[in-house]
Amino acid sequence: MEVDSAYGSASSSAGGLPLVSLTAAHVAHLNKQLETMHPKDILRLAKILFPNLYQSTAFGLTGLATMDMLSKLEKETPGSSPVHIIFLDTLYHFDETYELVDRVKARYPHLQLHTFKPEGFETAADFEETYGKLYELSEEMYDWVAKVEPQQRAYDSLNVAAVLTGRRRSQGGQRDKMGVVEIDKERGIVKINPLVNWSFAQVQAYIRENDVPYNVLLDRGYKSIGDWHSTSPVGEGEDERAGRWKGRQKTECGIHNKQSRYAQFLEEAAAKEKESQDNSSTDQAEATPEADSTQGAHTSEVEVETKADAEVEAEVEVEVEVEVEDEPPALVESPSLVESISAQVLEQVHESRPLAKSEQPLDEASSSPAPAHEVSNTFVPLLSC
């Protein structure tokens, strides 16, 4: 009987077999059983069921409640495998968020935290030296560089098979129909949403009852907290995620939704690069027999040459040398796709963004840089469908 294989997670080192394999029917069964369970019981089962289980969090309220429950479970079963934390540091979190991270570390000293930043950058200033204010120039490219790529790097380097998230149905948007267990085929992992059924009020009550550290911005009208440049307080009666990308048709940053157009652009570029390399290899393979035949003919001519005259020998050598130059040149390794795409992207960024003061000519150093709004559509032609 054929089995509808819905998912195979990241491969293990043992024969290339997947760490986790679930059918669509199995996922549906799990969701039915987990739907009415307490989040702590869901976490207890997830720790048993899924190897290489991690929690991904930006230290929001739900993630903090999950973290506290996991801490209690580890005390119940000291020998069990701990769940490590993945934190995607975009370099643009609020100062209050970074301060919270330090308080959480102090409260849970056993916590194993893996921080991933945009590759090659440690500070926002460093990032903007290369990209400018990328979150204004192209939101999709910013999401890729600051969030999606670091997330995929985290999953790859840690060999993540399953991840705990802080998403809940009451957050609205694309989250209102989520199951407890989800399959992310694009990224190759299982996602578990242990507090999917809880409301904001329930999570907040848990935080208070268990004295869990939380972001002080929550006391100032914020509910869902991300980057400072795209987060604002929530008004009375608004959804808790209404403060994210306010006034824009956007509800997710890219790490939980389908691939962005920029990610698709990268994949298409990779496919074209591979096709180009395959075509070059094919052309070389087809030309090689002819080249070998020509070379063999020249070798025979040289071997049958019996004249000892130095001038004639020189003519033969020159003739052979010239003919050999007509052979197909050896393939030269082309720059990597990432280098190629980065060069294109950075060229556009530098053409569009205002020059840093240190980059301006001396006679223009006092001039003001161009307003950000004048270059805000730089990447639209590149990424438009």
The residues carrying an active-site annotation are: 253
CA-based nearest residue to 141, from 342, 339, 340: 342
Three-class SS state of 220:
helix
Sign of CA dihedral 33, 167, 212, 219: negative
CA-based nearest residue to 134, from 361, 317, 379: 379
Residue 116 and residue 83 in contact, taking contact as beta carbons nearer than 8 Å? no
Residue 67 and residue 84 in contact, taking contact as beta carbons nearer than 8 Å? no
CA-based nearest residue to 226, from 138, 105, 158, 135: 135
CA-based nearest residue to 348, from 385, 384, 381: 381
> How many residues are present in the chain?
385
How crowded is the C-beta side of 309, counted as CA atoms within 13 Å? 5
Query: Cα 183 to the chain's mean position, in Å?
Result: 17
Residue that the structure tokens 């020249």 belong to: 298
CA-based nearest residue to 54, from 174, 187, 241, 144: 187
Residue 320 and residue 298 in contact, taking contact as beta carbons nearer than 8 Å? yes
As a whole number of angstroms, the distance between CA 228 and CA 243 comes to 11
Residue that the structure tokens 């190629």 belong to: 340
* Structure letter (DSSP) for residue 23: E
CA dihedral 299, 300, 304, 305 (to 10 degrees): -40
